């Protein structure tokens, strides 16, 4: 190999170039030829690899090979062939500069280590991208594991580079690392905590990509878009992005709405406040009026029979409505709400649904509707809930009930001020 550099050097000297200059001209010419060969070789190898992968992808229809192209695997693999050429050419080109050969070969070895790491990472990323296309892995925090693998690989590469540059055993490197382990633990505290949290989050299936979570402490209320080693990204409904430390999912509390989506029903829990002074007993004349309500007619007949039997048994004096048992307009209204939501097309029929009376408040008597819609879509949910309450608020006056609301300035009647003459 030494003969090639020696022959070109002798040829330059024969052409009349001084020996002191010929050695540098010879180096420049050999480097130019090497760079040209490296460029051509790398281009040809990369081109052939790309063509081979494209054909394999078309024939097999396996996504992994397509992801190899996207993650530049042919590019990294094509770099190894020229690097082998460079490594073997260093003694030839720098034959006149023997002191430069060892450090240049060490640099070439370092670059080869980095290329191998890049190739391995490209393979791992391609495998991860292929896994994301499968339903079972689509919601898993794969990025967290990729970051852990990347850290381990680059740590391994650092050990090899240290050993290559210093010529010492990797054991020396780990011995030096032990001396600064406390500093390293402090530097990578968030990474270590995030790694442990990622494992716990995945093992316990606490959060998946696409879950709607609420975490008021961090101002997060939206869908999880990314889970990696140190952070969880949440796209809020106002289209802003909130970043949460991964370990915060373990140390702090948060609300995950995945269960709602899986059950297929979203809860309605809202009350109508009835003005208590409008609640009263219903007399027999009014019952005929309420029987015209189709959803209440059978209930009134059945309920009134039970009430009449009870009143007869206890000998209640019905000249006053307060004696014995009686139907009330609020009770009929509550039963009407039960029947209405049970027959509503937007309500989930297999989940809890009821109209319940809560404790009286200064704002009236709350009649709470507790039910679940048959859809979890936000817009449809709001429309169904609005449709139900529009109807129930409009129906309240039919039962002689008033919905409580605080009086505004437009509701106040003007006070007439009269003047009186003295004496």
* pLDDT tens, residue by residue, 194-207: 777 777 777 677 88
Q: Enumerate residues 6+ apart whose C-beta is below 8 A from 107.
A: none
303's enclosing H/E stretch is: helix 294-314
Mean pLDDT computed over 234-240: 92
From CA 122, how far away is CA 54, in angstroms rounded? Answer: 16
pLDDT at 13: 65
The CA distance from 215 to 206, in Å, is: 14
Long-range contacts of 117-125 (CB under 8 A, 24+ apart): 117/153, 117/154, 117/156, 117/157, 118/76, 119/73, 119/76, 119/77, 119/80, 120/153, 121/149, 121/150, 121/153, 122/68, 122/71, 122/72, 122/73, 122/76, 123/68, 123/73, 124/149, 125/67, 125/71
User: Average pLDDT of the chain?
Assistant: 82
Asked if 255 contacts 267 with a C-beta cutoff of 8 angstroms, the reply is: no
What is the rounded distance in angstroms from the CA atom of residue 119 to the CA atom of residue 68? 10
Banded pLDDT at 372 (limits 50, 70, 90): very high
Per-residue burial over 298-320, b = 16 or more CB atoms within 10 Å of its CB, e = otherwise: ebbeebbeeeeeebeeeebeeee
Region 16-37 average pLDDT: 76
Please report the domains of the chain, with CATH numbers, ordered by start residue.
2-138 (no CATH), 160-256 (2.30.30.60), 267-406 (no CATH)
The pLDDT of residue 422: 45
Residue 9: pLDDT band with limits 50, 70, 90? low
Instruction: Give the span between the Cα atoms of 274 and 305, in whole angstroms.
Output: 28
Residue 413 has pLDDT above 70, yes or no: no
Among 77-86, 116-125, 282-291, 373-382, the range of highest mean pLDDT = 373-382
- Structure confidence at residue 22 as a pLDDT band (50, 70, 90): confident
Output the pLDDT for position 415: 52
Three-state secondary structure call for residue 403? strand
Q: Burial, 8: exposed, middle or buried (Cβ in 10 Å; 0-12, 13-18, 19+)?
A: buried
* DSSP 3-state of 417: coil
Distance CA 333, CA 275 (A): 13
Under DSSP, is residue 122 helix (H, G, I), strand (E, B) or coil?
helix
Angstrom CA distances, 215 to 60, 111, 242, 244, 253, stand at: 45, 45, 10, 9, 7
Question: How many angstroms separate the CA atoms of 74 and 245, rounded?
Answer: 36
Percent of the chain past pLDDT 70, that is, above it, reads: 83
Q: Which two tokens stand for residue 90?
A: 């260093």
pLDDT band at 144; cut points 50, 70, 90: low
| Calpha distance 113→29 (Å, rounded) | 28
> In this structure, what token pair is assigned to residue 121?
């990472």
Joined tokens for residue 65: 């090979």
Q: Report the pLDDT value the prediction gives residue 3, as an integer from 0 to 100.
A: 62
| Structure confidence at residue 182 (pLDDT) | 62
pLDDT of residue 158: 79
The answer to pTM > 0.75 is no
Per-residue pLDDT, 43: 84
Tens digits of per-residue pLDDT, 215-230? 998 989 999 988 877 7
Question: What are φ and ψ of residue 370, in 5° steps?
Answer: -120, 110
The top-scoring range by mean pLDDT among 38-42, 271-275, 417-421 is 271-275
Phi-psi group of 72: left, alpha or beta (phi > 0 → left; psi -120 to 50 → alpha; rest → beta): left
> What's the pLDDT band for 1 if we cut at 50, 70, 90?
very low
Say which residues have a Cβ less than 8 Å from residue 300's Cβ, sequence separation at least 6.
287, 290, 291, 327, 332
Mean pLDDT confidence for 311-336: 88
Question: Is residue 368 very low, low, confident or very high in pLDDT (cuts 50, 70, 90)?
Answer: very high
Rounded CA separation 351/373 (Å): 9
Residue with tokens 């060969």: 37
What is the predicted pLDDT for the residue at 417?
52
């Amino acid at each position: 190999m030494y003969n090639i550099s020696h022959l070109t050097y002798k040829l330059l000297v024969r052409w009349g170039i001084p020996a002191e200059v010929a050695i540098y001209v010879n180096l420049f010419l050999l480097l130019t030829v090497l760079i040209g060969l490296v460029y051509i070789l790398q281009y040809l190898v990369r081109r052939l690899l790309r063509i081979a992968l494209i054909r394999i992808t078309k024939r097999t229809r396996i996504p992994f090979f397509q992801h190899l192209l996207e993650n530049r695997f042919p590019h990294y693999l094509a770099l190894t062939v020229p690097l082998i050429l460079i490594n073997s050419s260093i003694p030839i080109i720098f034959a006149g500069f023997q002191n430069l050969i060892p450090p240049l070969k060490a640099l070439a070895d370092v670059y080869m280590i980095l290329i191998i790491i890049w190739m391995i990472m490209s393979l791992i990323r391609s495998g991860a991208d292929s896994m994301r296309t499968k339903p079972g892995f689509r919601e898993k925090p794969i990025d967290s594991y990729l970051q852990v693998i990347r850290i381990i690989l680059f740590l391994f590469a650092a050990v090899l580079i240290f050993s290559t540059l210093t010529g010492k055993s990797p054991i020396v490197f780990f011995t030096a690392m032990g001396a600064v382990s406390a500093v390293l633990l402090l530097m990578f505290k968030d990474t270590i905590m995030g790694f442990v949290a990622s494992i716990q989050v995945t093992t316990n299936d606490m959060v998946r990509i696409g879950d709607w979570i609420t975490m008021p402490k961090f101002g997060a209320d939206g869908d999880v878009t990314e889970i990696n080693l140190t952070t969880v990204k949440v796209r809020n409904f106002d289209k802003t992005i909130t970043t949460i430390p991964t370990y915060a999912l373990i140390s702090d509390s948060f609300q995950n709405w995945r269960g709602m989506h899986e059950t297929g029903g979203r809860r309605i829990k809202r009350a109508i406040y009835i003005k208590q002074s409008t609640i009263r007993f219903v007399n027999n004349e009014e019952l005929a009026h309420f029987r015209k309500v189709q959803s209440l007619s059978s209930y009134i007949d059945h309920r009134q029979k039970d009430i009449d039997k009870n009143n007869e048994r206890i000998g209640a004096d019905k000249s006053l409505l307060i004696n014995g048992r009686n139907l009330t307009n609020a009770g009929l209204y509550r039963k009407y709400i039960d029947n209405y939501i049970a027959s509503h097309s937007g309500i989930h029929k297999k989940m809890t649904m009821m109209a319940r009376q809560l404790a009286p408040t200064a704002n009236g008597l709350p009649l709470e509707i507790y039910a679940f819609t048959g859809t979890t879509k936000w817009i449809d949910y709001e429309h169904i809930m609005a449709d139900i309450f529009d109807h129930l608020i409009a129906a309240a006056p039919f039962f002689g009930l008033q919905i409580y609301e605080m009086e505004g300035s437009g509701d106040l009647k003007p006070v007439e001020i009269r003047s009186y003459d003295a004496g």
